[in-house]
Amino acid sequence: MPEASFLEWFSAYAYQPHLVYAAVIFMMFASSFGLPIPEEATLVSVGLLAFLATQTDTYPPPYPGAQPINVYTLAAVCFVAVFLSDLVVYSIGRFGGVRVKNSRRLNRFLPPGAMLKAEMWVKKHGALMAGVFRFTPGLRFPGHMTCGMLGLPLWKFSLVDGIAALISVPTQILLIAYYGEVILYYLKRFREAVFLLLFLAVAFYLFKRIWRWRQRRAGVSRV
């Protein structure tokens, strides 16, 4: 797809706010549960849509009176979606306990030793880790679940994780929405590299899944 056509197609979603808000909620929850697409990629994408919604001369609305994305509403939706998805993961650990920790199905999706590492850090640093895990994509899911399993009080988890999300999520949306021109410039310039990195990330994720599956099969065969 030519670059101009892609941006025209992409900008059309800048005038479908409810669809974008719903997509954000879905993607944030999916990312929290291990979808191999970082939530940062979603935030950048919707932030760019908010930027394109302000560029009516270059990317006009599809029809008169079309409702554009509101950047402040988008920032609030992203924050709430991120915070609630973290809270759901914490609750799974809190109410599932050891049963969840020892679940074979769960451990298929986690890096080796992730739960043990998260448990060690939470025991050592307490509630502070709830905020650290928010900025650590590889340990975000097992870390927040461990906070629940180890009985970290809900109010402490909510306070620390909420502050971390409030610092990182709305600021990303607002910065991208107001300075999207710079990001678009680099996306256009390094478009091939961006797509190559995305392809390699997905390929690496699939390779790890297949490798772990073969390792488990080999272990079962030896038994």
Instruction: Please give the pLDDT value at position 196.
Output: 61
Using the predicted structure, report yes or no on whether residue 43 has a pLDDT greater than 70.
Answer: yes
Which tokens sit at 131?
Answer: 């905020």
Give the count of beta carbons closer than 10 Å to the beta carbon of residue 17: 20
Give the global pTM. Answer: 0.78
DSSP state of 59: S
pLDDT recorded at residue 223: 46
At residue 137, the pLDDT reads 74
The answer to whether residue 1 scores a pLDDT higher than 60 is no
- Rounded Cα distance between 160 and 155, Å, is 9
Q: Which helix (H) or strand (E) holds 43?
A: helix 39-52
Taking residues 204-222, what's their average pLDDT?
Answer: 62
* For residue 114, pLDDT beyond 50: yes
Q: What is the pLDDT of residues 61-101, one digit of tens each?
A: 888 888 999 999 999 999 999 999 999 999 988 988 777 76
Q: Tell whether the model's pLDDT for residue 103 goes beyond 80.
A: no
C-alpha 111: how far from chain center = 17
Instruction: Tell me the average pLDDT across 22-48.
Output: 84
Whether the Cβ atoms of residue 53 and residue 14 lie closer than 8 Å to each other: yes
Average pLDDT for 98-113: 67
